[in-house]
Amino acid sequence: MRGVVMTAAEMGLQDRFSCVTLEEKDLYSGNLEEITLEGVTDVLHKLARRRAPEDMPKAVLIFPVCLHHFMGCDLKYVYGELEERFPSIRFVRCWMDPIMRASGPSPDQKLRRAMMDLTEPGEGGAPLSFLGDLLPLDQESEPARLIRAAESQKDGQVFDAGPKQGVRPARAYQIQDCHTLEEYMALGSAERVACRTSTALPALRAAARRLRKEPLYLPFLFGYEGIRSQIRELSEALHVSPAEAGIDPEAEEAACEEALRRARQTLSSVPIAIDNVAVEHPLGLCRLLAEHGFNVREVYLDAFNPEEREDYEWLTVHTPELLICGTIQVEGRVLHGEGRGSGRGQYLAIGPKAAWYNETPHFVNMVYDGGLWGYSGIRTLCAWIEDAFLTEKDTRELVPRKGLGCACIL
């Protein structure tokens, strides 16, 4: 549990995390169910003694571990008993079983599904809600603008197509808009449900079936044709045209070209490294930058996303010198040779792992696409790349933080 404890401490949220410790005798005594049940009950009773009734948690996420799997623990019984003892609390069925990841859904995918299970069906919500995404969608992105246009249309208002930095929608459409559990549960009442990451897609499809909604998959792509196609799909789903949201694809693409030109001019021939922690489609980003003359030299990932096959094939033809680096190879940090972290030839990295392996203070400190999307996302990323080149960061201070990016979610 070391990593979880570290994250809770870094976020200052130790009061929202508790452990039930399993001992060896609990494994062969045959009462793993009782140990788990009474342990959770004891935690909640201790909370009740310290808090007013209105401050008690409305939802509790329980993470059984690998041993519960191995010992065949009857978790259905455990959850049923907990729900009888604490009828006002929603108990979320999570799993902490990384050694089971070789088959079936990963722990990450299971957790996203467990979180989506809290949403409830209904009508009258936002035109569309995003489920399972870790970072909030940029309010100036095309989906946010289309949602606001559809919301205005529904309410009989005139949509203001200008930039809306920091604007909160009339109705919540993602977890980061929600201040209460009830608001989060109401995300299921949206007319359509969507996600922006492939990790959340299986859970989204399951939630959509339960909620009787149509799912939409809208990842952050780097090809103009793919972005145009997504905008058309989303516009049709929301019954609002891109023009009504102030979106002109030709003008947007021209603005992207100008942003890419400026960034390329700033960086000159500086070598670039990209990792799959920063963006879910790193090969797509490699291709976009390579097409615009950037010196893309390395990409860090451990597996190829099938969605990027076309980009992979393009890169093998046009950038055969591109180096594919596995992030699980810890010795990679010393294999690059001397001089990586100093001098004019140092790398610019997009993502924390690429920065760490290259020992460079010039990096874009983003994870999970940074909430970016579409044309606006490309332009914002170009601005971040320029800033990363011009401003040094403390790599050894920033990258090792286990909870990197978490505080902004909450």
pLDDT confidence of residue 158: 53
Distance CA 275, CA 363 (A): 11
Whether the Cβ atoms of residue 126 and residue 171 lie closer than 8 Å to each other: yes
Q: Cα–Cα–Cα angle for 329, 104, 98, nearest 5°?
A: 45
One-letter amino acid identity for 52? Answer: A
Q: What is the pLDDT of residues 44-94, one digit of tens each?
A: 999 988 888 888 999 999 998 888 888 888 999 999 999 999 999 999 998
Q: Are 235 and 146 in contact (CB under 8 A)?
A: yes
Cα separation, 201 vs 207, in Å, equals 10
Is this prediction's pTM over 0.85? yes
Q: Which amino acid is at 265?
A: Q
CA 317 from chain centre, in angstroms, equals 31
Helices (H), 173-281: 181-185, 201-211, 224-238, 249-267
* Successive 10-residue mean pLDDT values, the chain, 410 residues: 77 85 82 92 92 89 86 92 95 81 78 94 90 92 94 68 52 87 94 95 96 96 97 95 95 98 95 96 98 96 94 97 87 61 68 91 94 97 97 86 50
Element (H, E) at 97: none
The predicted pLDDT at position 100 comes to 63
DSSP state of 405: T
Q: Are 177 and 87 in contact (CB under 8 A)?
A: no
92 strand-pairing partners: 61
**What pairing do the DSSP bridges indicate for beta strands 192-195 and 128-130?**
parallel
